[in-house]
Amino acid sequence: MAAESAVKVCVRVRPVVAREERAASENAESVQLFWKTDKKSVRQIDDGNSSKCFNFDRVFTAEESTSQLYQDIAKPLVVSTVEGYNGTIFAYGQTSSGKTFTMMGCDSNPGVIPLAVDDVFQTIKNFPNKEFLLRVSYMEIYNETVTDLLVDSWKRKPLEVRETINKTIYVADLTEELVTSSTQALAWIRKGEKNRHYGKTKMNQRSSRSHTIFRMILESRERGDPASGENADGAIIVSHLNLVDLAGSERASQTGAEGARFKEGCNINLSLFTLGQVIKKLTDESQKGFTNYRDSKLTRILQNSLGGNAKTVIISTITPVSLDETLSTLQFASTAKKMKNDPHVTEVSDDGALLKRYRNEIVDLKRRLHEVSSVTQTTVTEKEVLSQLLQEKDQLRREQEDRIRNLTKLLVTSSNLVHVPKMPKRRVTWGGKLVEHSHPSACDDGICGMNMTFGWKRKADRSCSTDLSEADEDFYSHWGIPEEPSDEMEMSQSSVTVRSFGDSPRDLVSPGQIVGFSEKISNLDLQLEIESQQREEAVNVEILDGQVAELQRQVQTEALQKQEAVKEKQATEVRLAEVEVLLKNEVKDKLEALEKMQTMEQRLAGLEMQLQSETQQKLDALLQVQAAEQNIAELKRILDTKAQQKLETTDMLELKVSELERQSEKQKNTESDQVG
């Protein structure tokens, strides 16, 4: 894990440019090179002898292309980013050393950023069992102010750098665009480059006046089974790829910067100095404790990449004809080589990641669509069943009406009786002779009674289809009795004759009685047929009533079921509304908690700034106290010295006084001796 955790540092040597050749030719000298390189080290040339040497993971000469640099040092990091690790690549060096060319490149020689973007999408193809969601953002740090390069200039505003409860650093209100191809990502980069600050200096015609960070956020998860429609339950992996193009450190005496350019240079140098101090603090084992990333917006945003959960690649660009600036860059790179990170895959198991939220939303929408489709399908099915039942009811009603109509047609009434026209009478003969001539005395009773009786029997057999008074005429005219008698007719005649001329007078029946009997029998037959038809109709009506009642019960049952389904649907809608209200309340609570947390973060930041200010004031006061103590000690020493000097002076004066006194006494003694 140590080799994987170490920050990789490489050096790229820029070729000599025309400006440096012109400067050497003006002095009538050849271009002097202060550094020489091999595959993994850079050495200083000092009068032909190597005095200083720096070792790195890889050193790229001026002849090697950006593509070679990317394949050797940057591509493994990009591939690991797709696998779930955080990664950062940034170029560091003095102004006009080739940082922007290395990171952005040109059409014929693409830089690290476009190569990395293409490689991300190419690497995704190697993971067919995963699905990815990619977002990009592009920010600029200009004069210690963070701005969004993906919005128009009139919408651009200063952005705040904040920290989540999980210690994740983010830029508030930064635009993040969803991309599905490298073409879309590169289009956003081109838009951002149009909004970036560039300027002209004596050392570079197009000098970067700000730091830029192009960030790709990759969210991935295991793909679900499309055949079964099930979604994978695995955690979502979130990784960040930061591609940083730093502005170069510069000296105002060399760049000729004035006014705005001078201010830009001061802010660039300050942020790079803070970056160097943070890296020095992280690599110096003797300096343990708090590392203040907040001193610069650059170090604050890249906090996770500096000693945190990320793999970092630093590309140091140098100029072989520069001594001091290149030495400073190599010292920075050598210090950064000692920095250690702790990269690991970040898994998100809550709803914080967009991919999971989109996935959950899609699943929820599919579920709601399925419920609506089920209710709609049930309603359609109920309508179809009801329509079919109504059609069957109408069909049964029509069949019963047709059946009643047909039965009614079978009834013979005055309204439906069809008159049969009389056929002209033909001569009625019996045995080839006229009956009235054969039996003139029996025309009124015997023969006529026989004819009426025979006619009634034939008429009764035909169900009384005609009037009784016309029975004989209709019967004979219809059937056409033959002129020659048959054996059957003779038997009938004998039987009738026996019946007509019996021995008892009671056997004799008058024609009026026969007609009355015939009418009564016809009426009885009609009543019998009517009653049988009524019974059949009653049975049919009962059957129809039963079927209609059954259909009504079915319709009522289906209506109740439909009402229950509607009630269930309404209850489901009410539950959905309650769930939506609960979700809204939860979202509102989360937003309130987030606002409180942001407020607390702001207060914490204010307290930290206040603490830093107080600490600085205490340090200043301590320094002042120390200075005062030193001044007091110095004054005391001076006073002591002066006191000593005064003592010495006093002693000398006393000696002089005593000497003078002695001389005076001596003189007095001498004078007294002279006087004596």
77, 411, 437, 395: which is closest to 239 by C-alpha? 77
User: Would the annotation count 93 as a binding residue?
Assistant: yes
Q: Is the pLDDT of residue 397 over 60?
A: yes
User: Would the annotation count 572 as a binding residue?
Assistant: no
pLDDT score for 217: 93
Contact 436, 443 (CB under 8 A): yes
Mean pLDDT within 548-571: 79
Contact 674, 667 (CB under 8 A): no
pLDDT score for 70: 93
Mean pLDDT within 593-599: 81
pLDDT score for 377: 62
pLDDT band, very low/low/confident/very high, at 49 (cuts 50, 70, 90)? low
Q: Is the pLDDT of residue 75 over 90?
A: yes
Cα distance between residue 23 and residue 30, in whole Å: 9
Cα distance between residue 399 and residue 198, in whole Å: 94
Q: Is the pLDDT of residue 474 over 50?
A: no
User: Would the annotation count 96 as a binding residue?
Assistant: yes
C-beta neighbour count of 59 within 10 angstroms:
20
pLDDT band, very low/low/confident/very high, at 460 (cuts 50, 70, 90)? very low
Find which of 38-47, 432-441, 502-511 is predicted with most confidence, using mean pLDDT: 38-47
Q: Is the pLDDT of residue 137 over 90?
A: yes
Give strand pairing partners of 12.
Answer: 60, 317
Q: Is the pLDDT of residue 260 over 50?
A: yes
Q: What is the pLDDT of residues 179-202, one digit of tens each?
A: 989 999 999 999 988 888 877 776
Mean pLDDT within 442-448: 42
User: Would the annotation count 319 as a binding residue?
Assistant: no
Instruction: Give the predicted TM-score (pTM) of the model.
Output: 0.52
Kindly state the percentage of the chain with pLDDT values over 90. 14
The DSSP letter of residue 88 is: E
Q: Is the pLDDT of residue 265 over 70?
A: yes
Q: Is the pLDDT of residue 381 over 80?
A: no
Q: What is the pLDDT of residues 196-243, one digit of tens each?
A: 887 777 666 777 788 999 999 999 888 766 555 555 556 788 999 999
Contact 371, 109 (CB under 8 A): no
pLDDT score for 518: 63
User: Would the annotation count 100 as a binding residue?
Assistant: yes
For residue 676, the Cα-to-chain-centroid distance in whole angstroms is 136
Secondary structure element (H or E) that encloses residue 131, with its range: strand 130-142
The DSSP annotation for 382-440 comes to HHHHHHHHHHHHHHHHHHHHHHHHHHHHHS--TTTPPPPPPPPP---EETTEEHHHH-S
Give strand pairing partners of 318.
Answer: 13
Angle at 177 between CA 171 and CA 181, to 5 degrees: 135
Kindly state the percentage of the chain with pLDDT values over 70. 73
User: Would the annotation count 97 as a binding residue?
Assistant: yes
pLDDT score for 357: 64
pLDDT score for 477: 41
Classify each residue of 400-434 as buried b or exposed e, where b means 16 or more C-beta atoms within 10 Å of its C-beta: beeeeeeeeeeeeeeeeeeeeeeeeeeeebbeeee
Q: What is the dihedral of CA 616, 264, 602, 159, to 10 degrees?
A: 180
Q: Is the pLDDT of residue 247 over 80?
A: yes
Q: CB within 8 A of 341, min separation 6: which ones?
A: 5, 6, 7, 305, 307, 308, 309, 310, 311, 312
Cα distance between residue 135 and residue 185, in whole Å: 9
How close are the terminal C-alpha atoms of the chain, in Å?
Answer: 115
Q: What is the pLDDT of residues 494-529, one digit of tens each?
A: 333 333 333 444 444 455 655 566 666 667 767 777
Secondary structure element (H or E) that encloses residue 649, with its range: helix 511-675
User: In whole numbers, what is the pLDDT of the chain averaged over residues?
Assistant: 75
The DSSP annotation for 531-585 comes to HHHHHHHHHHHHHHHHHHHHHHHHHHHHHHHHHHHHHHHHHHHHHHHHHHHHHHH
Cα distance between residue 527 and residue 457, in whole Å: 19
Better-predicted residue by pLDDT, 470 or 645: 645
Secondary structure element (H or E) that encloses residue 162, with its range: strand 161-163
pLDDT score for 347: 76
